[in-house]
Structures are given as structure tokens and as C-alpha cells.
Amino acid sequence: MSGSPGRCVVVRHVLYEDLGVWEAELLAHGYEVEYLEAGVDDLAPLADAPLAVVLGGPIGVGDAALYPTIGAEIALLRTRLDADLPTIGVCLGAQFMAAAMGAQVAPGTLEIGWGTVEVTDAGRATSLRHVEGAPVLHWHGDACELPEGATLLATSEATPVQAFARGNALALQFHAEHDPERIEQWLIGNLVELAGHGIDIPALRERTREVADEAVMAGIALLREHLKTLQ
């Protein structure tokens, strides 16, 4: 890319799951950030924006019969992925990308809280090297298979596909974008899920304080290096 990179269209499914610490980095790289609210806005710009980021949320690929926005997003993602347009998916967004590439998405091992991922040899040659050994936020129950033609960048014992890439597409099952200063919104918004799974909320809050600085630095470094590969 030369000059201003243009628009970054961001599909958001719940208000508190936004770009987090990534937003300032995108703006610093010259992108104009435009949020599209799933279920409210016309998502058509997702198909051909210069850069697209699809964020997380409590719905899943298996809920497509209940939520029309899911099928619409996957179809639009398939269009842009077939054109190899720069695309980043986080958690739910990564699962939508996998589905758009023809891979299976199904219930997996529940992961909620701070942990690490194992970066593959291929991942170490990419911006994923910045999260090797660093704390990242996991918050998912579904998991995806590795799409055909994609490269596995990160894995874990609980979730074999933690990150993958294909062309200009990068998918992250974990939340590298999360702003730890906003954790309280996540704790409030996900009360029913957290209580239902017996998650210790005070312990998660305290752990967030402990890892905040390291997590933020790793997440920003990951995005910063990735964006440079698009320019």
C-alpha cells in the first residue's frame, strides 16, 4: 500500500468487545476506523474494505439459524477472502473466517481466562512471535479446524488451532486486542456465562491486573508488525 491505507471496517457484535488497544495503533498507521454493528448496520462494506477486522461475541457459527447476521457475515467474508483482501478475525471473527474457508467450527474445550499459546515454527516467522510466552486472554467455547491451504501459527493443548493465516488473512482464537483496563465491562457483560461455568470473577479480575502490561505490549506489537506486512 502507498499513501493512506484507507478504511478499516470493524464488525462488532457486542459493544464492549471493540478494538481495545488495537484502535490507536490502527489510527497511527493511517487507517480510518469504521465500526459496523452486527444485526443493526448494513454489513456490505465488509466485502471490499481495504482492511477488515471481525471481532468476538457470544454467538457462534452453530447459531446461524437463530441469527441471520451470522450467515451474512460468513458470506461477505468468503467474498473478501477469495479476493485475498487483508482481514483479521478475533475469536468469533476467526471462527467465521474458518467457516468462510470451508473449515468446521464446533463446540470445543471451554477456555476463559489468561493463558499462553504455543507459537509454531511458521508462526515465529510472523508477528505471532510477539505473543510467544506472553499472557493472552482466552474467552471461547467453540473451536475451528485448520482451513485448507491455511498455515497454523499457534496452538495449545486445549485448542489445537489458536491462530492461522492464509494469504492476507490472519485469524486469532485468542484476544490479543483486549484492553485490560476494560475487563470490568467483560465481567459485567458475561455474568451469566461466568457464573454458569463457575469462573472465579475476583480471581480473574486480579489476574488481569497482574498481566496487563505484558499482555498489552504483546498485543500491540503483534498488530504493529502485521500491519507493516500490508503496506
Catalytic residue among 13, 130, 140, 175: 175
Buried b or exposed e, range 39-75, using 16+ CB within 10 angstroms: eeeebeebbebbbbbbbbbbbbbeebeebebbebbbe
**13 flagged as catalytic:** no
Provide the 10 A C-beta neighbour count for residue 88: 26
**CA nearest 101: which of 89, 110, 117, 119?**
89
Catalytic residue among 91, 130, 140, 144: 91
Catalytic residue among 17, 130, 177, 226: 177
**91 flagged as catalytic:** yes
**177 flagged as catalytic:** yes
**CA nearest 15: which of 43, 35, 44, 42?**
35
Q: Provide the residue type at 204 as one letter.
A: L
The three cell numbers of residue 86 are 487483508
Which residues are the active-site residues?
Answer: 91, 175, 177
